[in-house]
Structure 1
Amino acid sequence: MTNSSPSQHLFADVLARVLKACAALVEDEALPAGLDLSRIVVEPPKDAAHGDMATNAAMVLAKDAKTKPRDLAERIVTKLRADDLVENAEIAGPGFINLTLKLQVWSNVLRDLLREGEGYGRSAAGAGEKVNVEYVSANPTGPMHVGHCRGAVFGDALASLLSFAGYDVTREYYINDAGAQVDVLARSAFLRYREALGENIGEIPEGLYPGDYLKPVGQALADEHGDKLLRAPEAEWLPIVRAIAIAMMMEMIRGDLDALNIRHEMFFSERSLIEGGMDRVAATIDFLRQKGDVYEGRLPPPKGAPVEDYEDREQTLFRATAYGDDVDRPLKKSDGGYTYFASDIAYHKTKFDRGFLNMVDVWGADHGGYIKRVQAAIKAVTAGKATLDVKIVQLVKLLRNGEPVKMSKRAGDFVTLREVVDEVGSDAVRFMMLFRKNDAVLDFDLAKVIEQSKDNPVFYVQYGHARGFSIFRNAREVFPDLPETDAARRDFLGAAAMERLSDPAELGLLRRLALYPRTVEAAAVAHEPHRIAFYLYDLASEFHALWTKGRDLPHLRFIINNDAQITRARLALVQGVVAVLASGLAVLGVHAPTEMR
Structure 2
Amino acid sequence: MFRAFRSAVEDAVEAALTALDLPTDDLGVEEPPEDVPATLASSVAFRLAGEVGAAPPSVAADIAAEIDIDSSEYIERVDTQGPYVNFYVSEAYYADTLSAGREATHGALPSTGKSVVVEHTSANPTGPVHVGRARNPIFGDAVARVLEFAGNDVETHYYVNDAGRQVAVFTWAYETFEESDLPEPERDRADYDLVRYYRRGNEFLESADEVDAEAAEAEISEIMQGLEAGEEATYDRVAAVVDQVLGGMRESLGRLPAEFDRFVKESKFLRNGDADEVVRRLKASDHAVYEEDAWQLDLSSFGLEKNLVFLRSDDTTLYTTRDLAYHEWKFANYDEAVTILGEDHKLQAEQLEATLEVLGNDTEALRQTFYSWVNLPEGGMSTREGTGVDLDDLLDESIRRAREEVESRLDSRIRDDELTEDDVDRIARQVGIGAVRYDIVSKQPTKGITFEWDRALDFEAQSAPYVQYVHARCCGIESEAADAGIDASADASVLDTDAERALLADIARFPAVIEQAADDLEPHVVATFAREFAETFNTFYRECSVLNADDPEVAAARLGAVQASRHTIANALDVIGIEAPDSM
TM-score, normalised to structure 2, is 0.79
Equivalent in 183, 197, 200 of residue 168 of structure 2: 183
Q: Does 1:388 align with 2:366?
A: yes
Aligned equivalents of 1:377 and 1:249: distance in 2?
32
Structure 1 contact 159–169 (Cα < 8 Å) conserved: yes
1:493 match: secondary structure: coil
TM alignment of 1:362-511, pairs within 5 A: 362-399=340-377, 404=378, 412-424=386-398, 425-451=432-458, 453-455=459-461, 457-479=463-485, 482=487, 492-494=488-490, 497-511=491-505
Gap change, CA 1:515 and 1:382, over 3 Å in 2: farther
Q: Does 1:359 align with 2:337?
A: yes
Q: Does 1:260 align with 2:260?
A: no
Task: State the match for 1:522 in structure 2.
Answer: 516
1:136-179, Cα deviation, whole Å (9 max, x unpaired): 00101011111222110111111111011112212111101111
Task: State the match for 1:123 in structure 2.
Answer: 109
Gap change, CA 1:567 and 1:50, over 3 Å in 2: closer
Task: State the match for 1:532 in structure 2.
Answer: 526
Q: Which amino acid aligns with 1:414?
A: G
Aligned equivalents of 2:519 and 2:551: distance in 1?
44
Q: CA deviation at 1:61?
A: 6.3
Task: State the match for 2:270 in structure 1.
Answer: 274
Q: CA deviation at 1:463?
A: 0.3
TM alignment of 1:90-105, pairs within 5 A: 90-93=79-82, 95-105=83-93
Gap change, CA 1:60 and 1:251, over 3 Å in 2: farther
Structure 1 contact 217–244 (Cα < 8 Å) conserved: no
Aligned equivalents of 1:289 and 1:61: distance in 2?
53
Q: CA deviation at 1:97?
A: 2.1
Structure 2 contact 289–298 (Cα < 8 Å) conserved: no
Aligned equivalents of 1:355 and 1:79: distance in 2?
45
Where do 5+ consecutive residues of structure 1 fail to align? Answer: 1-8, 205-209, 219-232, 299-312, 483-491, 551-555
Task: State the match for 1:337 in structure 2.
Answer: 316
Q: Which amino acid aligns with 1:15?
A: S
Q: Does 1:249 align with 2:255?
A: no
TM alignment of 1:569-588, pairs within 5 A: 569-588=557-576
Q: Which amino acid aligns with 1:90?
A: D
2:69 match: secondary structure: coil
Gap change, CA 1:454 and 1:418, over 3 Å in 2: same
Gap change, CA 1:420 and 1:410, over 3 Å in 2: farther
Aligned equivalents of 2:84 and 2:466: distance in 1?
36
Gap change, CA 1:168 and 1:201, over 3 Å in 2: closer
Structure 2 contact 474–562 (Cα < 8 Å) conserved: yes
Q: CA deviation at 1:245?
A: 0.9
Task: State the match for 1:296 in structure 2.
Answer: 289
Q: CA deviation at 1:327?
A: 3.9
Percent identical: 26
Structure 1 contact 211–411 (Cα < 8 Å) conserved: no
Structure 2 contact 127–383 (Cα < 8 Å) conserved: no
1:168-227, Cα deviation, whole Å (9 max, x unpaired): 2121111011111002212332345x22xxx556999xxxxx965446999xxxxxxxxx
Aligned equivalents of 1:25 and 1:364: distance in 2?
45
Q: CA deviation at 1:244?
A: 0.9
Q: Does 1:31 align with 2:17?
A: no
Aligned equivalents of 2:582 and 2:157: distance in 1?
33
Gap change, CA 1:64 and 1:342, over 3 Å in 2: farther
1:99 match: secondary structure: strand
TM alignment of 1:109-188, pairs within 5 A: 109-114=97-102, 117-124=103-110, 127-188=112-173
Gap change, CA 1:573 and 1:293, over 3 Å in 2: farther
Task: State the match for 1:77 in structure 2.
Answer: 64
Task: State the match for 1:307 in structure 2.
Answer: none
Aligned equivalents of 2:312 and 2:384: distance in 1?
36
Aligned equivalents of 1:201 and 1:15: distance in 2?
65
Q: CA deviation at 1:25?
A: 5.1
Aligned equivalents of 1:532 and 1:289: distance in 2?
45
Q: Which amino acid aligns with 1:284?
A: V
Aligned equivalents of 2:321 and 2:375: distance in 1?
33
Q: Which amino acid aligns with 2:348?
A: Y
Aligned equivalents of 2:38 and 2:363: distance in 1?
42
Q: Which amino acid aligns with 1:515?
A: R
Q: CA deviation at 1:445?
A: 2.2
Q: Which amino acid aligns with 1:157?
A: A
TM alignment of 1:525-564, pairs within 5 A: 525-548=519-542, 550=543, 556-560=544-548, 562-564=550-552
2:574 match: secondary structure: helix
Aligned equivalents of 1:338 and 1:409: distance in 2?
25
Task: State the match for 2:10 in structure 1.
Answer: 18
Q: Which amino acid aligns with 1:123?
A: L
The 10-residue stretch of structure 1 (358-367 or 58-67) with the greater mean CA deviation from structure 2: 58-67
Aligned equivalents of 1:449 and 1:267: distance in 2?
31
Aligned equivalents of 1:212 and 1:150: distance in 2?
24
Where do 5+ consecutive residues of structure 2 fail to align? Answer: 186-190, 200-218, 224-232, 399-431
Aligned equivalents of 2:371 and 2:117: distance in 1?
18
Q: Which amino acid aligns with 1:119?
A: T
Q: CA deviation at 1:76?
A: 2.5
Structure 2 contact 438–527 (Cα < 8 Å) conserved: yes
Gap change, CA 1:377 and 1:592, over 3 Å in 2: same
1:330 match: secondary structure: strand
Aligned equivalents of 1:363 and 1:473: distance in 2?
44
Structure 2 contact 507–568 (Cα < 8 Å) conserved: yes
Gap change, CA 1:562 and 1:478, over 3 Å in 2: farther
Q: Which amino acid aligns with 2:509?
A: L
Q: CA deviation at 1:369?
A: 2.8
Q: Give the number of equivalent residue pairs.
A: 516
Gap change, CA 1:374 and 1:200, over 3 Å in 2: closer
Q: Which amino acid aligns with 2:496?
A: S
Structure 2 contact 40–87 (Cα < 8 Å) conserved: yes
Gap change, CA 1:409 and 1:516, over 3 Å in 2: closer
Q: Which amino acid aligns with 1:296?
A: V
Query: What is the root-mean-square deviation in Å for CA atoms of aligned residues?
Result: 3.3
Structure 1 contact 368–392 (Cα < 8 Å) conserved: yes
